[in-house]
Structure 1
Amino acid sequence: MDVTRNSEFMPGLQRADIEELLSDANRWECAVCAFSNVAMKPTCSLCGGLKDSHFLEHALDEIDYALLTDRPRSRSYRDAFLTPLSSSSLSMRTSKMTLLNTFHRMSSFFFHKLVAPDDLNPRQRSARMRKEWVRKLDVKDRPYWKRRILDATRVVPAFVVQLMSSSDRLKALAVIHRRTSTVLGTLDEEDTIVVLEDKGLHHVDDDVAMLHDDGDDEDVKHIMYLPVEAVRATRSVLGEAVDPALWRHLHQLSRQPFSTKYTWYLHQASTLMQSYDMGYCRMKVARATAFTEAVENIAFLKQSALCSIIRVQFRGESGLDAGAIQREWYLLVAQGFLDDATGLFMVTNRDDNAYFINPNAAAAMHRQHMTTSRAKPPGVSHSQAFRAAGRFIGRALLDGQMLPLHFCPVLFKLLLGIPVTLDDIESLDKTIYSSLRFVLDHDNADDLCLTFSATERQDDTIVEVDLVAGGRDIAVTDANKHEYVDLMTRYLLFDRIDDSLRDMIQGLYEVVPPELLIPFDHKEFELILCGLSEIDVYDWKANTVTSSNLHATETLDWFWACVEAMSPADRAKLLQYSTGSSRVPVQGFKGLTSYDGKICYFTLKGITYTPGGYPCAHACYNRIDLPMYPRKDLMEDALTMLLLSDPTGFNIE
């Protein structure tokens, strides 16, 4: 095969075509997260669970969250959602879990793939929780939230984040019951809802935290933190109503396997891109300041140009953007967003090094700008930087780029407008989560000497933040500990990052419509945006085109043996050399594309060996020119030296 003929290794297919070709493929469902994987995959693409595993499931409880004004209620909000499960339900759950744990220990002698809830790693727990929240349709085809209680012994309140105009905010407040007590009082009146006092308003009389009030301008978007049953599920995270007929379609689509939804998504995303004839954006950036220039360019890009084709060129480099330069630009900018020098995001969970919005991003950006050129771009405010982050994610979704943005699962949920609870704090900080659980599950909260305040590190100083007015002087007791946990949950997930979250949400949905992402849960969204972090050598090898002079040669066998022996980090670096990206598309290596979105398989081309010669990568075409080494050790040495060098930079090849 002559690999220089583009028609032979660029078949003209697109990723949507690949999904359609795989529509009838045999698949297996992961026992942990229920994700459907192609038969040849030994592990789950979503959670990494092993094929043929058996998960020890226990009985599930479900709760329907209809809008307050749409249904009668026979018991108070507190009774329904702030207390443990019923004694009979909890007894059955506890007994069953005891039996399951015993069975698990006994069965370990006979089964190697039996999985209990306590065996799950953070990635698997997050993937398992993706089915906790789903939208359902009532008899009138109106969406509402349905909650499946997974691995929990206590049902805690749930909240959603939503952007609203001033008028919609007033309508939302109208459906919320008025406050009947303070956090110091007792809640014994029927049908009352716990009120959370707002940090930005005095004596708030509603159970809504409206934390960004810039006035009454209709065009101003406010970010709201509301009880899930106080929000119409017919609205998107932007607070905009979705057409009822479209809801029926989106609801049906959301129940389909990921492959079906992804095919639909790819077709829809392709229609959003403007044609080349309508104009395009050319970005010329310096490699050393690629992130700062990108943020400034994206922040000030006109609305009409957000869906235009983007071509990137690095100053001082002769490489033409045939795909790999754009991929590397996305990689560099994504890494810049997570860079400590930038200050926008921070590692919040050391167990899996997941990132969350930095509560002190504004101060961090200003401080770092004084000491490094990589931080805050000139002329871009803290707010504009987060809006640019949202736009950047939206553009990556349109361009089909895989980004190494290892965000905490709860951030993906917030971006989608999926309800969040106390349990989501576990992905942020497991220690804090365990502490809050302890407060709820044990009596004598007075002995803990807690107050209605939180501590936050600002620069090198620890500051105390009141959760309510004068909170540092209010002791946490058994009578008010539920309100304390609610306020801490709100503070950790929302209060600290409200402005940044609002800007990020607005930026994202300036590029893609919210309807495009509604059918997906937060883990599926992460998969679309970030691709696969683990490189499957079998999949890589199975979807590689080789030149005829490499067929059935020791050179080819040696190459794959070297790749299999590499560490995951070195494989990712080799992939970056070869394609411009260290991530694998959702579909695996069969989904590699060129600049135009068409499939471009990874290719190995055998070339004549010269002493001291190294493999040569043509990342724009996903190709490596591989010398025909006479000995395996020579190839190993060459690949080792290649991986020690910088994988970035392009020339005319």
Structure 2
Amino acid sequence: MDECFRFIAECLASKESGGRGFVLNDSWSEYLRILKDLYDTSKVFDGAEEMFWTVLRFHKNMLSALVVAFVKRGGDHRWVLDNKGVTNFECRRHLAMILFPAVEEDFDMLHEMLIDRSQVLAESFEYIGRAKPESLRSGLFMEFKNEKATGPGVLREWFVLVSREIFDSRHALFVSCPNDCRRFYPNPASKVHPRHLEYFRFAGRVIALALLERVQVGIVFDRVFFAQLAGIRVSLEDIRDADPCLYRSCKQILEMDADFIDSDALGLTFVRELEELGCREVVELCPGGKNIEFNSQNREHYVDLLIQHCFVTSISEQVANFAQGLADILSSSKLQQFFQCLELEDLDWMLYGSENTISIEDWKAHTVYKDYKESDCQISWFWEVCRLYWSSLFFFFS
């Protein structure tokens, strides 16, 4: 394995430097099948599996290049995700995106939308929330009322605007994390919105379509939200950003002296007091919870039940409807697979992009001009505006 990967890397390096005679053609796709067989075989012998992953980890960029080049829809190469340390972002994104249905480039089949900028959320809900999933999978054609502009740029702008509205706290559908205002998870009190569950399904469709169109909408999910979409149990560490106060309290409970806890100094039982929409109520964390005394033996169970109630039970309907919206575009059978292909940071890149400042010089070097020359004054003005804009952003956030 090591020799083979080194051979591929050397040949590719030779080709990039002007050499000839080596092409990463379809025959190399067989090597992925061989690697899968080797992986299955490695499980039989002591120490072989660890050695297998060690070699792949060392050559993860070459492995990832093979996966991106040759794994197509329907291919069974998810075995590489048994150890995500051997893959890079491009590889994981590729394995996730091929789970989406192929988009047919047929202009006549596009789902057309004419949106009033002053009614972005309401009108977008009517166009997207009411549509049949198969019509949305064919692609979108977007136009703002009383504006002539159309095309990919207008569609990207619509995605950003409607996402901003969906996740705006005024609509009570999502709440942002105190430690990171970019991150969101469903609002347990979203039922103040009379059609909140319909809007969660609509939100799921919008995010799925943004992923399908590879548009960065400028928001990211909190870990508690991501975990539930991936079918992973929410843990204490997952709530660190969503509720820093509860996180610290639970950590303190788990680290307290056992004798102090058993003295009943905290006076806790397996209930949760919550206030919602001006009403205060006590909810049992488990059947008979108000009669179960908290002690050093059951404190881990108490913390786990508290977390599940705060971040799973209380938003289960919202998550389910959001997931259904995603599944309308992706398909229900592949939904958890999609999120299991990715790390949270991967989804961050796909929905938000990099926090690093854009390189204006790199952008300029790779720009193709139509009906203009780089020396034209309008082009010079454009690049100057870009420099001033990104400089101001850097100053604001630093």
Give the structure-1-normalised TM-score. 0.44
Equivalent residue runs for 1:231-242 within 5 Å: none
Aligned residue in 2 for 1:191: none
Closer/same/farther in 2, CA of residues 486 and 531 from structure 1, 3 Å limit:
same
Letter in 2 for 1:565: S
Aligned residue in 1 for 2:248: 434
- Alpha-carbon distance in 2 for matches of 1:558, 1:280: 37
Q: 5+ residue gaps in structure 1?
A: 1-22, 25-135, 141-242, 367-380, 572-653
8 Å CA contact 2:166–2:203 kept in 1: the answer is yes
Letter in 1 for 2:227: K
Is 1:456 aligned to 2:274, yes or no? Answer: yes
Residue 390 of structure 1 and its aligned partner are, at CA, apart by 1.2
Is 1:329 aligned to 2:158, yes or no? Answer: yes
Letter in 1 for 2:199: A
Q: 5+ residue gaps in structure 2?
A: 1-11, 14-38, 45-73
Aligned residue in 2 for 1:359: 188
- Alpha-carbon distance in 2 for matches of 1:313, 1:569: 34
**Aligned partner (choices 340, 359, 363) of residue 169 of structure 2:** 340
Aligned residue in 1 for 2:139: 309
Residue 543 of structure 1 and its aligned partner are, at CA, apart by 4.1
Closer/same/farther in 2, CA of residues 554 and 344 from structure 1, 3 Å limit:
closer
RMSD, aligned CA: 3.3
Residue 487 of structure 1 and its aligned partner are, at CA, apart by 0.5
Is 1:492 aligned to 2:306, yes or no? Answer: no
**After superposition, what is the alpha-carbon deviation per residue over 1:589-639, rounded to whole angstroms, capped at 9, x for unaligned?**
xxxxxxxxxxxxxxxxxxxxxxxxxxxxxxxxxxxxxxxxxxxxxxxxxxx
Letter in 1 for 2:138: S
Residue 488 of structure 1 and its aligned partner are, at CA, apart by 0.6
Q: Percent identity?
A: 23
Residue 450 of structure 1 and its aligned partner are, at CA, apart by 2.1
Residue 490 of structure 1 and its aligned partner are, at CA, apart by 0.8
Residue 399 of structure 1 and its aligned partner are, at CA, apart by 0.8
8 Å CA contact 2:96–2:341 kept in 1: the answer is no
Closer/same/farther in 2, CA of residues 267 and 425 from structure 1, 3 Å limit:
closer
**After superposition, what is the alpha-carbon deviation per residue over 1:373-415, rounded to whole angstroms, capped at 9, x for unaligned?**
xxxxxxxx32221111111111111111111223212212222
Residue 500 of structure 1 and its aligned partner are, at CA, apart by 0.9
Closer/same/farther in 2, CA of residues 360 and 286 from structure 1, 3 Å limit:
same
8 Å CA contact 2:179–2:242 kept in 1: the answer is no
Aligned residue in 1 for 2:375: 549
- Alpha-carbon distance in 2 for matches of 1:392, 1:554: 36
**After superposition, what is the alpha-carbon deviation per residue over 1:540-581, rounded to whole angstroms, capped at 9, x for unaligned?**
455445733259x9868855653453134989xxxxxxxxxx
Closer/same/farther in 2, CA of residues 507 and 562 from structure 1, 3 Å limit:
closer
8 Å CA contact 2:180–2:241 kept in 1: the answer is no
Residue 418 of structure 1 and its aligned partner are, at CA, apart by 3.6
Aligned residue in 1 for 2:87: 256
Aligned residue in 2 for 1:410: 224
8 Å CA contact 2:294–2:302 kept in 1: the answer is yes
**After superposition, what is the alpha-carbon deviation per residue over 1:339-391, rounded to whole angstroms, capped at 9, x for unaligned?**
1221110124245453211001112x13xxxxxxxxxxxxxx32221111111
Closer/same/farther in 2, CA of residues 475 and 540 from structure 1, 3 Å limit:
farther
**After superposition, what is the alpha-carbon deviation per residue over 1:52-104, rounded to whole angstroms, capped at 9, x for unaligned?**
xxxxxxxxxxxxxxxxxxxxxxxxxxxxxxxxxxxxxxxxxxxxxxxxxxxxx
Residue 436 of structure 1 and its aligned partner are, at CA, apart by 0.7
Which has the larger strand fraction? 1
Q: Secondary structure at the match of 2:324?
A: helix
Letter in 1 for 2:349: L
Aligned residue in 2 for 1:181: none
Which has the larger helix fraction? 2
Aligned residue in 1 for 2:129: 299
8 Å CA contact 1:340–1:346 kept in 2: the answer is yes
Closer/same/farther in 2, CA of residues 277 and 252 from structure 1, 3 Å limit:
farther
8 Å CA contact 2:269–2:293 kept in 1: the answer is yes
Aligned pair count reads 318
Closer/same/farther in 2, CA of residues 544 and 505 from structure 1, 3 Å limit:
same
Q: Secondary structure at the match of 2:166?
A: helix
8 Å CA contact 2:358–2:390 kept in 1: the answer is no
Q: Secondary structure at the match of 1:464?
A: strand
- Alpha-carbon distance in 1 for matches of 2:367, 2:103: 29
- Alpha-carbon distance in 2 for matches of 1:359, 1:564: 37
Residue 491 of structure 1 and its aligned partner are, at CA, apart by 0.9
**After superposition, what is the alpha-carbon deviation per residue over 1:174-207, rounded to whole angstroms, capped at 9, x for unaligned?**
xxxxxxxxxxxxxxxxxxxxxxxxxxxxxxxxxx
Aligned residue in 1 for 2:64: none
